[in-house]
Amino acid sequence: MVTIGPSLMCADLGRLIENIHQLDSAEVDFYHFDIMDGNFVPNITLGPDLIRSLRPYSNKPFDAHLMVEEPERFIDPIAKAGANMISVHAESKVHLERALQQIRSHGLKAGVALNPSTPLCELDYIMDSLDYVCLMTVNPGFAGQKFIPRTLRKIKDLKAKFEQEGLDISIEVDGNISNAIIPEVIKNGADMLVCGTSSIFIPKEPLEYSVAQVKQLINQR
């Protein structure tokens, strides 16, 4: 099953609550929270307090993507704030295996995110600790960037690797997942779509309509 997770980056609580209300009615599958610290990426966004404030407004899984320099410092507060899934970047200052166990110790799904240029072999010795992999299809930090076409092969290679080893690990894709690219990433093996300004948050387009368009693309495979 391919799932849809709107990407939440804006720090306006009122607007986020309104968005979540509409997106819940449109039956999205999860919410993807972009947590940026201004160090790992050149931008600052949400933190644990905002996740805690939004938690009462939806029962859908909250997926926290830690684009931060020292993710191990954030795992406990983000888990306690109400996240259901947390991914850490392999390129950050992290003991990857320890961080994944730290996430799982809260009963949450654990993921690793990889920048477009990071090779898949980073995952070789942690496969059994993984629930999902977030493949960045843009360089992390900003919404509205261009999709990097080379990442399509990376999705395909990762899917093949999981199939070969009989592993049930989800592949999330993040970065300019537009309506034009959705059929391509699905064809190559993506099963979690992070949908931001490229497909769901389109100016003047009702969220219900944008989500319906994405669902149509998923269903017409």
Which residues are annotated binding-site positions for substrate? 7, 65, 141-144
Given candidates 141, 156, 179, 191, which one binds ligand 5RP under the rule CB under 6 A? 141
CA distance 183 to 176: 13
Regarding 116 and contact with ligand 5RP (CB under 6 A), the answer is no
Please identify, using beta-carbon distances, which residue of 57 and 142 lies nearer to ligand 5RP.
142
CA distance 143 to 96: 26
Residue positions annotated with a catalytic role? 34, 174
Question: Which residues lie below 8 Å from residue 32, measured CB to CB, with a gap of 6+?
Answer: 5, 6, 7, 8, 63, 65, 172, 174, 194
Q: Which residue from 85, 88, 89 is spatially nearest to 63, judged by alpha carbons?
A: 85
Which residues on neighbouring strands pair with residue 136, listed in sequence order? 174
CA distance 80 to 14: 22
Query: Which amino acids are annotated as binding site, given as ranges?
Result: 7, 32, 34, 65, 141-144, 174
- Interface segment toward ligand 5RP; rule CB under 6 A; list 11-19, 51-59, 75-83, 169-177: 169-177
Binding mask 3-32 for ligand 5RP (x = CB under 6 A): ----x-------------------------
CA distance 64 to 97: 18
Given candidates 3, 22, 197, 213, which one binds ligand 5RP under the rule CB under 6 A? 197
Please identify, using beta-carbon distances, which residue of 137 and 188 lies nearer to ligand 5RP.
137
Please identify, using beta-carbon distances, which residue of 138 and 161 lies nearer to ligand 5RP.
138
Given candidates 198, 210, 214, 217, which one binds ligand 5RP under the rule CB under 6 A? 198
Please identify, using beta-carbon distances, which residue of 151 and 198 lies nearer to ligand 5RP.
198
Let me know: does 129 contact 104? Beta carbons within 8 Å.
Answer: yes
Tokens of 165: 């080893």
Given candidates 133, 171, 194, 214, which one binds ligand 5RP under the rule CB under 6 A? 194
Given candidates 47, 48, 71, 140, which one binds ligand 5RP under the rule CB under 6 A? 140
Query: Which amino acids are annotated as binding site for a divalent metal cation, given as ranges?
Result: 32, 34, 65, 174
Regarding 34 and contact with ligand 5RP (CB under 6 A), the answer is yes
Q: Which residues bind ligand 5RP (CB under 6 A)?
A: 7, 34, 138, 140-145, 174-177, 194, 196-198
